[in-house]
Chains A and B, each alone.
Chain A
Amino acid sequence: MTFNSLHFVAFFAVVLSGVALFRKRLLARNTFLLLASWYFYGVWDWRFLALLLGTQAFDYTFARLIERYPLGSGKRKWFVVGSCAVNLTVLGFFKYCNFFIDSAVSLAQSLGYGIHRPELNVILPIGISFYTFQSMSYVIDVYRGHLKAERHPLHYALFVAFFPQLVAGPIERATHLLPQIKAPTNMNWDNLCHGFWLVGLGMFKKVVLADNISPVTAGVFDRPDVYPHAWESIVGIYAFAIQIYCDFSAYSDIARGAARMMGFDLMRNFDLPYFAVNPSDFWRRWHISLSTWLRDYLYIPLGGNRGGWFKTYRNLFLTMLLGGLWHGATWLFVLWGAYHGAMLCVHRAVKPWLERFLVFRSRPMAMAWTVLRIVVFFQFTCVGWLLFRGGTLENVKRLLTPLVQKVHHPVFAQVPPENLLRFGVIAGVLFIGQLVKYNSNDHDVIFRIPVPLRAVVYAGMALAILIFGEFGGGSFIYFQF
């Protein structure tokens, strides 16, 4: 059941009515929401529900066990290590089993051993990376003493399985979501309006922007037999940058909006990422729930920036490498992580030099420098997206080759005019929307503009969804992770 399906609309209408009905009875509301969340997950494949229930039961028990022992106790450490080991083993088995088998077989074959791949096709349960990380963060927080273990299994189970963010995040922290789950329903007019706006914005981004630009991306990336021209390659890569942002941030917006309508506040996952001026700024803006997770539960435990420059760079690089692997079990995702890790290291190395020599006192110069940094860094981000979407190294090479060779053909010779139109319109709409937010430095700028203009925006978005929306129930890109 995807957010952009009729099934979800009917499901959410029932859930919202149920939450309104049980708003004064906490246990009844949470039981209802938990059952609804299990149904939401079970619709994909009921067999994986057992895995979700297992994770919930296991981490609930381990957190309670951890709390029995005082801070700094060895047993406490053993339990948290045990919990992490089990979670990562389950995640590793379902997500990386095929990857490791294929890699081992390829390595053996390249060394001359005639090994055949064993028949073991493990299916990836949807959302496993998201809810495993969320559950792990809870156990680690209890271990660190940041949080008391939740006594009521119902509240904890709902924290892990809460349907808006279950399959593609945001990866919530227990310190943020659990108190809301245990608090009375905060369903009010303001939350309903904000939530409805976020759901509408998410639907617009998904069915109008992301799904309509996907043929442009596919036209370049999914034709391994055709060598594109430079401009075609550039348009395809830019189109994917737009597609992945619109697709993923749409999911987060709808998740936040749906939760908000029910009175829950989920964390913001995106903050105008293509206005980032450097790699560390990018990771403060892109998939914030994952990047902060990696910072708090991987980078800092590895030592963070304590222990000299070598360890700092090693930790940065390793964190991003594992972040890349989290996205998918292919070497290209590892490469994508390594690419971002390397960018972070280089940026960290040159940052003092930049801050010392490139300081502009005049406002226009400072603004021009910011714009230049945004434009240049966007190109670096796009190179990363090429690795992310490429699929195979051959494909990446196919799309990169024309960028470094001379173009003999007229500009846009090979891009169908209809695709160019789609690209131009979608890029323009997205740019204007993002620029307004960036300039106002306000995510809720829509509620500050004059009523007639706001009405035009609402009506325009609704009409675009009705007329241009792709209602084929296209899946979200991040579901595969």
Chain B
Amino acid sequence: MPWALLLAIGLLAAFEVGLHRVPLADLVYYGDDTTQRYALRDRAELGLGPDLALIGSSQMRQAVVMPEFIPLARRQLGRSLTVGNYALRGGKMDVMYYLVRALCESKKPPKVIVLGVSVRDLRGNEPDWDSIAPFAHWKDIPAELKRNGTGALQMIPTVFRDRVLGWYRTLRFRNYINYLLKTQFVYVRDEGDISLGDTARELTFLTRSLDSSPMSRLTLVRRMGWSFDFAHSPRPAESMVRYLDKIAQECHKRHVKLLVVELPISSILQRALPKKFYSQFQQAMAAFHKRTKVPYLPTTELVPHYSNAQFYDAQHLNYRGAMLFGPKLAEMLPLAK
């Protein structure tokens, strides 16, 4: 008999049992891009989500200074309100839909979701399979195959790993165990957890402003090329608009209030966009509002004029910009329905 192998399996099982005795909330680890997706998914699945969830891309993540925003939001929606910034870097409408769905399906769904949308978020027909796979179920694969073609097959390994091995905590929380062990030996700077309202991670670089580093149109287009695929995607992508509609449907189905806000972009980026690019985005959002009756606030209704001094780069607000945007957003929260 392979006694050593059996004993080793016993030791692994003992480790796993030990992990099962640790409160789950203590194991969710918010680290870098990939682990952030898993942290948000786990929080949603474990019913640890906030009452007010901010969803969007990095533009949304950096548009709000959480310690300032939370008291203002509580003033509008109630003293005991919990607020989480669940925006994900590089997130487009596809990943936002999956995240909203995870939150809505959780044991404790949020009361209000604020969805920050920008021109970039509706670009590119092909969903970002790597980003959405951590949130996907088996049943999503045939649905995505039907909607968006064979690219959806790319999700299979991740879905397999996450869903089949999801119960195995040694694997599921390996990032946190890794981090915990590492911190026993070396100093690791605590970068904070944005989803819990900590802005330490963002404020380290939010003080820079665009007017201190002006860019030419060409430089800007080159730098933004990865996210603004002008040549191949000249208008809002149908698939992304469909995901936006599905967000509205999901919130409606679960009785979660939804407010959609447009996130500002710098004037320099607006000028760099091809003709009609921005107006087509505005038309798509207006049509969405008409179709779904979900309240939608264009930038002009929140803060009419931004200067380059309020941008960190061409599309992200800096601290000054966020201090302008956040309070206005808090004021508008009662509009959510």
Interface status of B186 (Cβ within 8 A of chain A): yes
Decide if A459 touches B11 in the complex (CB within 8 Å). yes
- Chain A 432-481 residues near chain B, CB threshold 8 A: 451-452, 454-456, 458-459, 462-463, 466-468
Decide if B174 touches A6 in the complex (CB within 8 Å). no
Distance A421 CA – B184 CA, assembled complex (angstroms): 11
- A418-B182, A421-B182, A467-B174 known; A458 and B4 CB under 8 Å? yes
**Nearest CB to that of B173 among chain A residues?**
A467
Decide if B178 touches A458 in the complex (CB within 8 Å). no
Q: A455 — which chain B residues lie within 8 A by C-beta?
A: 3-8, 10-11
Interface status of B170 (Cβ within 8 A of chain A): yes
Q: Among B9, B11, B170, B187, point to the contact of A466 (Cβ < 8 A).
A: B170
Q: A468 — which chain B residues lie within 8 A by C-beta?
A: 174, 178
Distance A434 CA – B7 CA, assembled complex (angstroms): 24
Most chain A beta-carbon contacts within 10 A, residue among B7, B171, B178, B188: B7
Q: Interface on chain A toward B: helix, strand, loop, or mixed SS?
A: helix
Q: Among A6, A421, A456, A467, point to the contact of B177 (Cβ < 8 A).
A: A467
Decide if B174 touches A418 in the complex (CB within 8 Å). no
Decide if A418 touches B5 in the complex (CB within 8 Å). no
Q: A467 — which chain B residues lie within 8 A by C-beta?
A: 170, 174, 177-178, 181
Interface status of B67 (Cβ within 8 A of chain A): no
Decide if B5 touches A6 in the complex (CB within 8 Å). no
**Nearest CB to that of B188 among chain A residues?**
A418
Interface status of A308 (Cβ within 8 A of chain B): no
Question: Can you offer 12 A-B residue contacts whose CB atoms are under 8 A?
Answer: A420-B186, A452-B4, A456-B11, A458-B8, A459-B7, A459-B12, A462-B8, A462-B12, A466-B170, A466-B171, A467-B174, A467-B177
Interface status of A376 (Cβ within 8 A of chain B): no
Distance A458 CA – B3 CA, assembled complex (angstroms): 11
Q: Among A7, A193, A459, point to the contact of B8 (Cβ < 8 A).
A: A459
Hey, which bits of chain A sit against chain B, CB under 8 A?
A: 6-7, 193, 417-418, 420-421, 451-452, 454-456, 458-459, 462-463, 466-468
Decide if A451 touches B3 in the complex (CB within 8 Å). yes
Q: How close is A93's CB to chain B, nearest CB, in angstroms? A: 35
Interface status of B304 (Cβ within 8 A of chain A): no
Q: A417 — which chain B residues lie within 8 A by C-beta?
A: 186-187
Q: How close is B30's CB to chain A, nearest CB, in angstroms? A: 18
Q: How close is B165's CB to chain A, nearest CB, in angstroms? A: 10
Interface status of B78 (Cβ within 8 A of chain A): no
Distance A433 CA – B180 CA, assembled complex (angstroms): 25
Q: Among A420, A421, A452, A466, point to the contact of B174 (Cβ < 8 A).
A: A466
Decide if B2 touches A452 in the complex (CB within 8 Å). no
Q: How close is A436's CB to chain B, nearest CB, in angstroms? A: 16
**Nearest CB to that of B177 among chain A residues?**
A467
- Chain B 133-190 residues near chain A, CB threshold 8 A: 157, 160-161, 170-171, 174, 177-178, 181-182, 185-188
Q: B161 — which chain A residues lie within 8 A by C-beta?
A: 6
**Nearest CB to that of B7 among chain A residues?**
A455
Q: How close is B68's CB to chain A, nearest CB, in angstroms? A: 33
What count of chain B residues pass the 8 Å CB interface test? 26
Interface status of B205 (Cβ within 8 A of chain A): no
Distance A467 CA – B170 CA, assembled complex (angstroms): 7
Decide if A421 touches B185 in the complex (CB within 8 Å). yes
Decide if B186 touches A463 in the complex (CB within 8 Å). no
- Chain B 60-87 residues near chain A, CB threshold 8 A: none
- A418-B182, A451-B7, A452-B7 known; A463 and B2 CB under 8 Å? no
Decide if A6 touches B3 in the complex (CB within 8 Å). no
Q: B157 — which chain A residues lie within 8 A by C-beta?
A: 6-7
Q: B8 — which chain A residues lie within 8 A by C-beta?
A: 454-456, 458-459, 462
- Chain B 1-32 residues near chain A, CB threshold 8 A: 2-12, 15
Decide if A421 touches B11 in the complex (CB within 8 Å). no
Decide if A463 touches B182 in the complex (CB within 8 Å). no
Decide if A193 touches B160 in the complex (CB within 8 Å). no
Q: A7 — which chain B residues lie within 8 A by C-beta?
A: 157
Q: B9 — which chain A residues lie within 8 A by C-beta?
A: 459
Distance A417 CA – B160 CA, assembled complex (angstroms): 36
Q: Which 5 residue pairs spanning A and B have beta carbons closest together? A: A455-B7, A458-B8, A459-B11, A454-B4, A417-B186
Q: B181 — which chain A residues lie within 8 A by C-beta?
A: 467
Distance A421 CA – B15 CA, assembled complex (angstroms): 24
Q: B174 — which chain A residues lie within 8 A by C-beta?
A: 466-468
Q: How close is A464's CB to chain B, nearest CB, in angstroms? A: 10
Q: B2 — which chain A residues lie within 8 A by C-beta?
A: 193
Distance A93 CA – B6 CA, assembled complex (angstroms): 52
**Nearest CB to that of B160 among chain A residues?**
A6
Distance A417 CA – B11 CA, assembled complex (angstroms): 31
Distance A462 CA – B5 CA, assembled complex (angstroms): 11
**Nearest CB to that of B176 among chain A residues?**
A467
Q: A6 — which chain B residues lie within 8 A by C-beta?
A: 157, 160-161
Distance A149 CA – B2 CA, assembled complex (angstroms): 42
Decide if A458 touches B170 in the complex (CB within 8 Å). no
**Nearest CB to that of B8 among chain A residues?**
A458
Distance A7 CA – B186 CA, assembled complex (angstroms): 36
Q: B186 — which chain A residues lie within 8 A by C-beta?
A: 417-418, 420-421
**Nearest CB to that of B10 among chain A residues?**
A455
Distance A369 CA – B172 CA, assembled complex (angstroms): 49
Q: How close is B262's CB to chain A, nearest CB, in angstroms? A: 36
Distance A459 CA – B334 CA, assembled complex (angstroms): 55
Distance A330 CA – B2 CA, assembled complex (angstroms): 49
Q: B5 — which chain A residues lie within 8 A by C-beta?
A: 455, 458
**Nearest CB to that of A417 among chain B residues?**
B186
Q: B177 — which chain A residues lie within 8 A by C-beta?
A: 467
Known: A458-B4, A459-B7, A459-B9. 18 other contacts (CB 8 A): A193-B2, A417-B186, A418-B186, A420-B186, A421-B182, A451-B7, A452-B4, A454-B4, A454-B8, A455-B6, A456-B11, A458-B5, A459-B12, A462-B8, A462-B12, A467-B170, A467-B174, A467-B177
